Amino acid sequence: MPANKMMLGLGTYGRGDTPAMPYTGFKGESGFVAYYESCIQIVCEKMKETWDAKQLVPFITGPYNQPKAGVENVRSMKYKANYIKQNNLGGAMIWTLDMDDFRGQFCCQGKFPLIKTIKAVLHGQLKLLPKEKMCSTCPTKEYKDFKPNSQSQPQTTEKPTKKPKKSKRDAEGPTPEDVCEELKDGQWPDPTDCKSYFLCRGVGSQWGEQKREICYA
């Protein structure tokens, strides 16, 4: 196949060495970290970023040498975008736009720093390249909204004295807001419909998302 018909896949996320690598933040998946999450982990949670000179990518480890995660940053994206140009490939395929720092609030590099890096290199607009350096101090407000609750409230169950009457809302089943308020981030089955489930993301934050999804066969 001609090189100009091939696309190079680029990711705005990182993967941990083990599935058990702890997660923090919106994605709610162990062993997986979005670019904006890695910025918060490095700046606010004091994780260490190290450059891998052989693979030309950074990786991060926790303060007590927790399992590492290979991630991306502005510098590594420059190398990948240059590879596309040097080998006359057709372009880049990005996965995914919403895992870049799309609001420019976490990395202090402006909006979409990884996407803009790729575009600037491919179009030869080097003056538009985002800066490589991240925030020097933790963005306190954003981090407060970002960080999930580490402790859950204890739940107690008391035997009811009377059988409660079913309301119209009970008959229709729980709402996404009800389910996500009681449970942590993740995917939860709908007790009233085996063909649907609840998706809870960033519960308690201003960017949170709670909705019912359909299971497609």
Residue 183: count other Cβ atoms within 10 Å of its Cβ: 14
**Measured distance CA(185)–CA(208) in Å, rounded:** 10
Contacts of 103 (CB under 8 A, 6+ apart): 111
Whether the full predicted model's pTM is greater than 0.85, yes or no, is no
Q: Which residues pair with 196 in a beta bridge?
A: 214
Model confidence over 164-181: pLDDT tens digits? 555 444 556 788 888 887
Q: Give the least confident one: 63-67, 85-89, 212-216.
A: 63-67
Q: What gap in Å lies between CA 42 and CA 147, rounded to an integer?
A: 13
Token pair 């359909």: residue: 214
Is 100 a residue whose pLDDT tops 70? yes
pLDDT of residue 194: 85
> What is the pLDDT at residue 59?
92
Give the per-residue pLDDT at 110. 95
Most confident stretch, 60-74, 100-114, 177-191: 100-114
pLDDT in tens, 44-64: 888 889 999 999 999 998 766
